[in-house]
Amino acid sequence: MAQIIDGKAIAADIRREVAAEAAALASAHNIVPGLAVVIVGSRKDSQTYVNMKRKACAEVGIRSIDLDLPEDISELALVAEVHRLNADPAVHGILVQLPLPKHINEEKILSEISIEKDVDGFHPLNIGKLAMKGRQPLFLPCTPKIKGDWIKPGAAVIDVGTNSVDDPTRKSGYRLVGDVDFAEVSKVAGYLTPVPGGVGPMTVAMLLKNTVDGAKWGIVE
């Protein structure tokens, strides 16, 4: 059986470090790291992650700037909102929750985020530098469909999928699952991340870390 990688425990350590750094910034420089979280529409899985990120910000001393936009917002209007956040000095990181509605070009929106505020690491320049030898992106992406017979025995399987499935036994009416057939893959893999409790907590923790790092830029010690 696969050894389950406890994303929650690792993420908890990172959050404690981020909280200490945020407190030091506020005390020494009167800077409160600010993260703008943009969500378009009302997908259940997206809402779950956005709420998780906003709660996490509050827990570590990061100011969450919430922007909930309608499903039918135009691409032009969304670009304008991104530009507004780019120009706001109180915003040190911008996260646009994916996926976006089909009428909006995701690549276009992500490329409009200032590279200095691209804490998700999805800007084409950050992705390009990540892929090039000897280049250092400003931010690394925060997130590190498999069946049991698709993988080699002993492989490390990182499930980054998030899907909502109906579950009448839950108060919410649904539960979250990954892309991996957990029961089947756990019999073959050497290491496996669960959903929830694996990549999700780590993604949020590294998002917080990137936001604090963004707030540090320009500070002269």
Per-residue pLDDT of 87-129, as tens digits, reads 999 999 999 998 899 999 999 999 999 988 988 877 666 565 5
Q: So which residues are the catalytic ones? A: 53, 97, 120
Q: What is the pLDDT of residue 12?
A: 92
Phi (first) and psi of residue 195, to 5 degrees: -135, 120
Q: What is the pLDDT of residue 145?
A: 47
DSSP helix/strand/coil, 196: coil
Give every residue of the chain whose pLDDT is below 50, as ranges: 144-145
Separation CA 143–CA 178 (nearest Å): 14
Alpha helices in 66-123, H assignment, sequence order: 75-87, 106-112
DSSP string, 4-20: EP-HHHHHHHHHHHHHH
Separation CA 10–CA 22 (nearest Å): 19
What separation in angstroms does the CA of 66 have from each of 38, 176, 212? 6, 23, 17
Separation CA 38–CA 49 (nearest Å): 11
Q: Which domains does the chain have, with CATH numbers?
A: 32-136 (3.40.50.10860), 148-192 (no CATH)
